[in-house]
Structure 1
Amino acid sequence: MKRIIAVSLAAGLATGLIGYNTTASGETDAARAPALTELPDGYRDWRLITVAHEEGKLNDIRAVLGNDIAIRAFREGAATFPDGTIIGRLAWDYHPLEESKAAFGAPQSFVAGLPKNGVQFMVKDAKKFAATGGWGYVEFDDGKPSTTAMPEACFSCHSIVKDRDFVFSRYAP
């Protein structure tokens, strides 16, 4: 019986020290990983935060979606978003709807065309992404993380809205 207790205590101590060492050093595999390595399951079914029309170089229409954590934070008017928040952006080029043009005599209604600029996500993890305001940025092209996207450029633009926790979008209930 004493031997079982001694082995159990030794195993518990070893497990505790390993766990302590991992968290004390601050280094984990997750901390070195990119914001996302694959598209979040079901992201196309997430709730709508807002829609936007971008002009200039981007010249697209877009839907901004959020996971449940994001939606809850937006609805509550959170000043900062909690860890686990994921905000997604889908964008398309657009063109006039021919039927609308015929009905009104001029282009009036515009509809989504081909997807543009991949699918982009912001992932909140204040500790992991401390250097970029607590947000990780990633773009997916054809379902794979982009090799040309520059998360630093995302943060550079998002720095303009630092007072809104680096989030451009506003909730459209």
Structure 2
Amino acid sequence: MKRRFAGATGIAVAIAVAVGCVEVDEVRAQDAKDVSPLYGVAVPDGYRKWELVAPALEDDPLNELRAVVGNTVAMEAYRSGTLPFPDGTVLVKLAWKRAQSAEFGTATVPGAATTVQVMVKDSGRYAATGGWGFGRFIDGKPVDEAQHETCFACHDARVQGHDYVFTRYAP
């Protein structure tokens, strides 16, 4: 079923990030080629300075190191145990192929970047998908509509009891 919406790493991953905040409207780009189909979500400016929610290791077939960062709204909700997440929550997952360090032998490190994925909580705009809008990007450009059609179905099938969010806070 197609949905259309109006509007537009145990392995540790060392990520130096600082507290940051972005308004939901800032996540929506003006240039349509830079927003996800179906949801109109863009890669938020400054997200690499946001706080780390948690790292993850994804086994085969993806074989990735991942890190999820969140804006200030997301981090406050995680720390206080607030569910559902409030509107204005933005989560960004960065993913890289796993690679063996040429410098440190046995260490697994991030290799080539694979995707940046974004979740934006806006209960009004995304009511049909549990209040969440999704974006998946490769090299800063959104992937095709067919891939975006799988976002909510995957979250809906696996994490309804945690407001459709897979990542748990790593204190």
Give the TM-score of the pair, scaled to structure 1: 0.72
Show the counterpart of 1:100.
104
Q: CA RMSD in A?
A: 1.8
Partner amino acid, structure 1, of 2:86: P
Query: Which residue in 1 is equivalent to 2:165?
Result: 167
Aligned residue pairs total 137
The corresponding residue for 1:135 is: 132
Aligned to 1:57, the other structure's residue is in SS state coil
> What are the superposed Cα offsets for residues 33-76 of structure 1, whole Å, 9 maximum, x if unpaired?
25445321101111100000001222100110001111111111
Q: Deviations over 1:89-137 (max 9, x none)?
A: 0000121223433xxxxxx310111001x21101101111111111111
* Counterpart in the other structure of 1:157: 154
Question: Where in structure 1 are there 5+ consecutive unaligned residues?
Answer: 1-29, 102-107
- Work out which of the residue numbers 69, 77, 82 in structure 1 matches 2:81: 77
Identity %: 47
Q: Say whether residues 1:48 and 2:45 are aligned partners.
A: no
How far apart, in 2, do the equivalents of 1:149 and 1:46 lie?
Answer: 29
The Cα shift of 1:138 comes to: 0.5
Residue in 1 that maps onto 2:16: none
Aligned to 2:110: 112
Question: Which gives a bigger RCO, structure 1 or 2 (Cα 8 Å, sep 6+)?
Answer: 2
Do the aligned residues in 2 keep the contact of 1:139 with 1:149 (CA within 8 Å)? no
Partners of 1:135 and 1:81 lie apart in 2 by: 10
Task: Specify which of 46, 52, 62 is matched with residue 58 of structure 1.
Answer: 62
**Contact 1:136 1:151 (8 Å CA) reproduced:** no
**Structure 2 unaligned blocks of 5 or more:** 9-37
CA distance in 1 between partners of 2:163 and 2:135 (Å):
17
User: Which is further off, 139-148 or 127-136?
Assistant: 139-148
- Counterpart in the other structure of 1:15: none
The residue that corresponds to 1:32 in the other structure is 7
